[in-house]
C-alpha cells in the first residue's frame, strides 16, 4: 500500500510520478514548490486533466471595449480542480464529519452496566484526558475546560495521522489550519482571562502589577508598567499563538516532506534496476512512518498541553492551590 500510491499514475500528458510528487507540494497551479509531498487522492484526480492555468474562479482579465475598464471573467474549471485548491479544508471537514457521524451512530445507547467495546474505548480516552486536565487545572475548572482541550487534542492527533494514510493529506500540514487552531486557543484564553478576572484586573496584570509604598513610587511604577511592561506582555501574549501554530506546522510539514523525499528517492532508485515508470518504487519511506507516528502524537499532546497551561495561567490562582491541597491530602 505505501509503495504504489505515488507511482501508479498514468495521466494524460507527460506527468511522471516524480513530477507529481513535486507538484503535489505546490499551490494547485503550475508553480512548482521546492517541497515535495506525496500527492493525495484529490491531487491525483485533478491531475488527470492537466491544468494549464492556476486555479482561480475569476481569471481572465478582459477589457470592456465600451468603457475601457478591465473586468474579471469567470473561467471554466472542473470540480476536481476546485476541491483540490481547497483540499486541506476539505480533508479537515471530512475528518470532523466522519468522526461525528461514527460517534453519533455508535453511541446511540449508552449503557451504564453493560457498556459495549466502543463505549469503553471512548470512555478510556475521556477519562485519561480528564485526569490530565484536572491534574493541571483543578477539579472544577478542569471539568469546564476539558471539552475544548480534549477536542483540540483529538482533532490535531487525527489530522496529523491522516498524512500517513495513502490517499489523504494532513490538514495540519499547511499553515492555514494550524494558524486557525492557534488563534482559537489565543481568543479562548484571552476571553477567559477577561471574563474570569475582569477587564481592569487584566490590564493591571498586563502592566506588571505596579504597587508601591508611597504615592510617588506607585506613580513611578505605573509609568514604568505602561511604558515598558505593557508592550512586553502584549508581545508575549501575541507570540503564543504564533509559536503554537509554527511548532505544529513545522513538525507535520517536515514529516510530510521527509516522506515525499524518500518516496522520490525510492522511485528514482528503481532506475538502477532498469525498471521505469509504472513500477512502484522501493519502500524506503516505511521506517519514517514510525517517526511520523511518534511526532504526530507528541505534537498533538504538546499543543493541547500548552493550551491547558495557558488557561491555567490566566485562571484565578487560589482555586489552583486548593486543588494542590486536595492532592496532598489524598
| Phi, psi angle pair for 48, to nearest 5° | -60, -25
Closest C-alpha among 303, 286, 287 to residue 251: 303
Residue 128 burial (10 A CB sphere; 0-12, 13-18, 19+) = exposed
35 touches another protein by CB under 8 A: yes
State which residue, 34 or 52, has the beta carbon closest to another protein.
34
305 touches another protein by CB under 8 A: yes
Residues in contact with another protein, shown as a per-residue x/- string from 73 to 102 under the rule CB under 8 A = ------------------------------
Q: How far is the CB of 302 from another protein (least distance, A)?
A: 4
What is the C-alpha separation between 189 and 199, in angstroms, rounded? 13
Residue 304 burial (10 A CB sphere; 0-12, 13-18, 19+) = buried
Q: How far is the CB of 31 from another protein (least distance, A)?
A: 9
State which residue, 251 or 264, has the beta carbon closest to another protein.
251
Q: How far is the CB of 190 from another protein (least distance, A)?
A: 22
Q: How far is the CB of 308 from another protein (least distance, A)?
A: 12
Q: How far is the CB of 34 from another protein (least distance, A)?
A: 7
State which residue, 35 or 144, has the beta carbon closest to another protein.
35
Site for another protein in 250-289 (CB under 8 A): 250-251, 253-254
**Alpha helix segments (H runs only) across the chain:** 17-24, 41-47, 79-85, 87-106, 117-137, 139-161, 175-197, 199-206, 215-224, 230-269, 286-314, 317-329
* Residue given cell 471539552 in the structure block: 147
State which residue, 3 or 132, has the beta carbon closest to another protein.
132
Q: How far is the CB of 296 from another protein (least distance, A)?
A: 12
State which residue, 203 or 302, has the beta carbon closest to another protein.
302
Contacts of 86 (CB under 8 A, 6+ apart): none
State which residue, 32 or 209, has the beta carbon closest to another protein.
32
What is the C-alpha separation between 221 and 205, in angstroms, rounded? 13
CB atoms within 10 A of CB 141: 21
State which residue, 179 or 279, has the beta carbon closest to another protein.
179
What is the C-alpha separation between 281 and 8, in angstroms, rounded? 10
302 touches another protein by CB under 8 A: yes
| Phi, psi angle pair for 109, to nearest 5° | -115, 110
- Angle between helix 230-269 and 286-314 (nearest 10): 170
Residues in contact with another protein, shown as a per-residue x/- string from 218 to 257 under the rule CB under 8 A = -------------------------x--xx-xxx-xx---
Q: How far is the CB of 133 from another protein (least distance, A)?
A: 15
State which residue, 27 or 140, has the beta carbon closest to another protein.
27
52 touches another protein by CB under 8 A: no
* Total of chain residues touching another protein, rule CB under 8 A: 16
Interface ranges with another protein (CB under 8 A): 33-35, 243, 246-247, 249-251, 253-254, 298-299, 301-302, 305
Amino acid at each position: 500500500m505505501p509503495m504504489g500510491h505515488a507511482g501508479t499514475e498514468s495521466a494524460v500528458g507527460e506527468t511522471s510520478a516524480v513530477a507529481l510528487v513535486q507538484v503535489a507540494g505546490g499551490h494547485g497551479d503550475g508553480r512548482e514548490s521546492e517541497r515535495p509531498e506525496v500527492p493525495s487522492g484529490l491531487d491525483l484526480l485533478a491531475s488527470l486533466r492537466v491544468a494549464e492555468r492556476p486555479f482561480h474562479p475569476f481569471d481572465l482579465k478582459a477589457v470592456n471595449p465600451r468603457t475601457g475598464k478591465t473586468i474579471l471573467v469567470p473561467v471554466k474549471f472542473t470540480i476536481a480542480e476546485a476541491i483540490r485548491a481547497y483540499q486541506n479544508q476539505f480533508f479537515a471537514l471530512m475528518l470532523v464529519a466522519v468522526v461525528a457521524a461514527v460517534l453519533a451512530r455508535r453511541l446511540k445507547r449508552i449503557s451504564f452496566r453493560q457498556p459495549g467495546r466502543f463505549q469503553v474505548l471512548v470512555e478510556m480516552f475521556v477519562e485519561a484526558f480528564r485526569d490530565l486536565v484536572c491534574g493541571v487545572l483543578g477539579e472544577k475548572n478542569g471539568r469546564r475546560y476539558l471539552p475544548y482541550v480534549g477536542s483540540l487534542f483529538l482533532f490535531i492527533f487525527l489530522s496529523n495521522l491522516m498524512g500517513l494514510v495513502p490517499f489523504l493529506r494532513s490538514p495540519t500540514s499547511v499553515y492555514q489550519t494550524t494558524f486557525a487552531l492557534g488563534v482559537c486557543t489565543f481568543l479562548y484564553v484571552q476571553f477567559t482571562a477577561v471574563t474570569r478576572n475582569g477587564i481592569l484586573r487584566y490590564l493591571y496584570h498586563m502592566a506588571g502589577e505596579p504597587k508601591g509604598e508611597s504615592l510617588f513610587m506607585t506613580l513611578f511604577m505605573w509609568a514604568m508598567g505602561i511604558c515598558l511592561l505593557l508592550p512586553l506582555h502584549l508581545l508575549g501574549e501575541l507570540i503564543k499563538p504564533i509559536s503554537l501554530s509554527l511548532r505544529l506546522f513545522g513538525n507535520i510539514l517536515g514529516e510530510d516532506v521527509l516522506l515525499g523525499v524518500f518516496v522520490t528517492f525510492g522511485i528514482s532508485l528503481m532506475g538502477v534496476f532498469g525498471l521505469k515508470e509504472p513500477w512502484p518504487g522501493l519502500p524506503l519511506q516505511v521506517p519514517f512512518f514510525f517517526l511520523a507516528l511518534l511526532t504526530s502524537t507528541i505534537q498533538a499532546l504538546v499543543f493541547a498541553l500548552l493550551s491547558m497551561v495557558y488557561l491555567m495561567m490566566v485562571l484565578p490562582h487560589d482555586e489552583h492551590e486548593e486543588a494542590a491541597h486536595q492532592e496532598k491530602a489524598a
